[in-house]
Structure 1
Amino acid sequence: MPVARSGAARYLSVMKVRDADILVVPGYTNSGPDHWQSRWQSKLSTARRVEQTEWSKPVREDWTASVAKAVNEAEKPVVLVAHSLGVAAAVQAIAQFRKPVAGAFFVAPPDVANPKVKPRHLMTFGPYPREPLPFPSIVIASRNDPFCAFDVAEDIAGAWGSLFIDAGETGHLNADSGFGPWPEGSMTFAKFLTDLKA
Structure 2
Amino acid sequence: MRGTTVPTIVIVPGLREHVEDHWQTILAERLGDAGRTVHIVPPPVHNRLSRDAHVANVVEVMVRITGPVTIVAHSAGVMTTVQWARWHDADVRGALLAAPPDFGTPLPAGYPTPDELATHGWTPVPRKPLPFPSIVAAGSNDPLGSLGRVTELARKWGSRLVELGPVGHLNPASGHGPWPQAEELVEALEQGWCRTAPRPAS
Deviation sequence 1:63-95 (CA, Å, 0-9, x none): 011112222321121111000000001110113
The one of 174, 186, 189 equivalent to 1:189 is 186
Match for residue 71 of structure 2 among 55, 77, 80: 80
Mark the CA change 1:23 to 1:166 in structure 2 (over 3 Å): closer, same or farther. Answer: same
Report how far residue 190 of structure 1 moved.
2.0
**Cα offset, 1:189, TM superposition:** 2.2
Percent same amino acid at aligned positions?
35
Q: Secondary structure at the match of 1:158?
A: helix
Q: Is the 8 A contact 2:23 2:179 kept in 1?
A: yes
State yes or no: 1:70 paired with 2:61: yes
Q: Tell me the distance in 2 between the aligned counterparts of 1:60 and 1:145.
A: 22
Match of 1:154 in 2: 151
Does the CA contact (< 8 Å) of 2:140 and 2:164 recur in 1? Answer: yes
State TM-score, norm by structure 1: 0.83
Counterpart code for 1:148: G
Show the counterpart of 1:32: 19
**RCO higher in 1 or 2 (8 Å CA, sep ≥ 6)?**
1
**How far apart, in 1, do the equivalents of 2:46 and 2:94 lie?**
25
The reply on whether 1:119 has 2:106 as its aligned counterpart is: no
Q: Aligned equivalents of 1:129 and 1:21: distance in 2?
A: 25
Deviation at 1:56, TM superposition (A): 8.6
Matching residue within 1, 10, 16 for 1:23 = 10
Correspondence for 2:101 among 110, 113, 117: 110
**1:66–1:92 Cα change, 3 Å:** same
The farther-off stretch of 172-181 and 83-92 is 172-181
Q: Please say if 1:174 is aligned against 2:171.
A: yes
Per the alignment, residue 7 of structure 1 pairs with: none
**Which has the larger displacement, 128-137 or 185-194?**
185-194
1:53 counterpart SS class:
coil
Distance across 2 between alignment mates of 1:139 and 1:56: 28
Quote the Cα distance in structure 1 between the aligned partners of 2:178 and 2:19.
Answer: 13
Paired positions, count:
183
Task: Quote how far apart the aligned CAs of 1:14 are.
Answer: 4.1
Report the CA distance between 1:48 and its aligned residue: 1.2
Of 135, 140, 153, the match for 1:138: 135
| TM-score (ref. length: structure 2) | 0.82
* Structure 1 residues not aligned, in runs of 5+: 1-12
Q: Which runs of 5+ in 2 are unaligned?
A: 194-202
Cα deviation code 1:11-30 (max 9, x no counterpart): xx4478x6111100000114
Q: Which residue of 2 aligns with 1:91?
A: 82
Q: Which is further off, 91-100 or 32-41?
A: 91-100
Q: CA separation in 1, counterparts of 2:188 and 2:127?
A: 26
Cα 1:186/1:52, change in 2 over 3 Å? same
Output the CA distance in 2 between the equivalents of 1:157 and 1:15. 27
Residues 95-138 of structure 1: CA deviation (Å, up to 9, x unaligned)? 33242211110000011111344322545412221111110000
